[in-house]
Amino acid sequence: MTVSPSPPETVAGQRPALKFAHPSEAEFARLLDFYGVRWQYEPRSFPLRYQDDGQLLEAFTPDFYLTDYDTYIELTTLRQSLITYKNRKLRMMRELHPDVTVKLINKRDYLKLLEKFGVEPRAGSAIPAIERILFTEREVQARVEELGRQITRDYTGRELVLIGVLRGVVPFMGDLMRRISLPVRVDYLSLSPYQPDDTPLRFTKALEEDISGAHVLVIEDIVDTGMSLHRLLQYLERRGPVSVEVCALLDKRARRLADVRIAYSGFEIGDEFVVGYGLDARQQYRNLPFIGVVHGEVR
Ligand code: IMP
Ligand code: MG
């Protein structure tokens, strides 16, 4: 099935001088490098349509391949007229190669992604209003209690270290750890935000506990693209734990790029921007006891 040869895999900070078809692809590659997500650019073409004589008529070459996640990414930040064409190709791709994971990022998704990683700040600085409540305080507390029970059951007799990812995890961590009826150690980590100018990622709060020989449970408020979690797991796995699992209060599966495994998930939610119970919009709303959806488009 492979048509084109693969370019060398990238190592973060050591990018070969690749020619991208579009600047948005270069930006996307920088984002992946920042989080240590390994990628290849257009490594493979998938045949879609043949002539009667067997000659290849049409093929699909996704822009990126995430080697750790066996996932192809197609960036469609082009004109609307091309999107219909691309969508058709993608449909054929899914029919003919159902075993291959391809994620499409259209222009709107891409702009949301850039904004999320702080590349293009939202126009204006108004704090968005809360549109509706997604999970009440009671629903959140009930689910946290269940998660605590499950974790207690699974980790009985093991040396457990809970590692919370700042800042949004604070209320969840506080409630969850009190529902875990086991001896545990607790630590926190914090990552510097993405910088589009090649500034490398830093841990603004590094790990202080020794986790070698211990079972680690990473506690997250929300997993969105999965890229920050990918980087965190990479960092933790180098420190010799027996196991590393993830517990996330919210799982925005529809937006996942790095398909990290989440062993304990509180709620799966759609592609909406949520606030409260630790989550912020422009640093507001973290102190709300419930989880709400903010009003309007992100852009
Ligand atoms: P990821 O690397 O894309 O998975 O980023 C996860 C981080 O993005 C979370 O820890 C949050 O800080 C932030 N985030 C993602 N979605 C939301 C949301 O709906 N509300 C608030 N913060 C969010
Ligand atoms: Mg976070």
Q: What residue's CA is closest to ligand 1, atom 5?
A: 224
Residue 7 CB partners (closer than 8 Å, separation 6+): 16, 18, 40, 41, 42, 43
Under 8 Å between Cβ of 185 and 208? no
| Residue 224 among the catalytic residues | yes
Nearest-CA neighbor of 167 among 22, 283, 291, 21? 283
**Nearest-atom index, ligand 1, CA of 280:** 21
Q: What residue's CA is closest to ligand 1, atom 8?
A: 224
254 CA distance to ligand 2 middle (Å): 17
Q: What residue's CA is closest to ligand 1, atom 17?
A: 273
Nearest-CA neighbor of 251 among 259, 243, 240, 239? 259
**Nearest-atom index, ligand 1, CA of 275:** 20
- Which domains does the chain possess? 23-116 (3.40.960), 131-294 (3.40.50.2020)
113 CA distance to ligand 2 middle (Å): 15
Strands 160-165 and 39-41: unpaired
Q: What residue's CA is closest to ligand 1, atom 20?
A: 274
204 CA distance to ligand 2 middle (Å): 13
Per-residue model confidence as pLDDT tens digits over 236-266: 999 999 999 999 999 999 999 999 999 999 9
Per-residue model confidence as pLDDT tens digits over 44-69: 999 999 999 999 999 999 999 999 99
For 214, the token pair is 């211990």
User: For a pLDDT cut of 90, what percent of the chain falls above it?
Assistant: 74
Q: Which residues pair with 218 in a beta bridge?
A: 163, 246
Query: How far is it, in rounded angstroms, from Cα 1 to Cα 47?
Result: 7
Residue 210 CB partners (closer than 8 Å, separation 6+): 239
Choose which residue among 235, 279, 286 to substitute to test ligand 1 binding: the one with the highest number of ligand atoms within 8 A of its C-beta. Answer: 279
**Nearest-atom index, ligand 1, CA of 255:** 3
Q: Torsion angle, CA of 205/168/240/151, rounded to 10 degrees?
A: 150
The SS3 of residue 232 is helix
Query: How far is it, in rounded angstroms, from Cα 191 to Cα 193?
Result: 6
Residue 170 CB partners (closer than 8 Å, separation 6+): 164, 278, 286
223 CA distance to ligand 1 middle (Å): 6
User: How does pLDDT run along the chain (299 residues), one tens digit per residue?
Assistant: 334 444 445 544 455 567 888 889 999 999 999 999 999 999 999 999 999 999 999 999 999 999 999 999 999 876 677 778 888 899 999 999 999 999 999 888 888 888 888 776 655 568 889 999 999 999 999 999 999 999 999 999 999 999 999 999 999 999 999 999 999 999 999 999 888 888 899 999 999 999 999 999 999 999 999 999 999 999 999 999 999 999 999 999 999 999 999 999 999 999 999 999 999 998 999 999 999 999 865 43
Ramachandran quadrant class, 24 (left: phi over 0; alpha: psi -120 to 50; beta: rest): alpha
Query: Active site residue: 33, 63, 175, 224, which one?
Result: 224
Give the HSE-up count for residue 79: Cα atoms under 13 Å, Cβ half-sphere. Answer: 2
Q: What residue's CA is closest to ligand 1, atom 10?
A: 222
Element (H, E) at 185: strand 184-191
Ligand 1 surroundings by CB, under 6 angstroms: 168, 221-229, 252, 273-275, 279-280
Nearest-CA neighbor of 66 among 31, 113, 16? 31
Query: How far is it, in rounded angstroms, from Cα 240 to Cα 243?
Result: 9
141 CA distance to ligand 1 middle (Å): 21
Residues recorded for the chain: 299
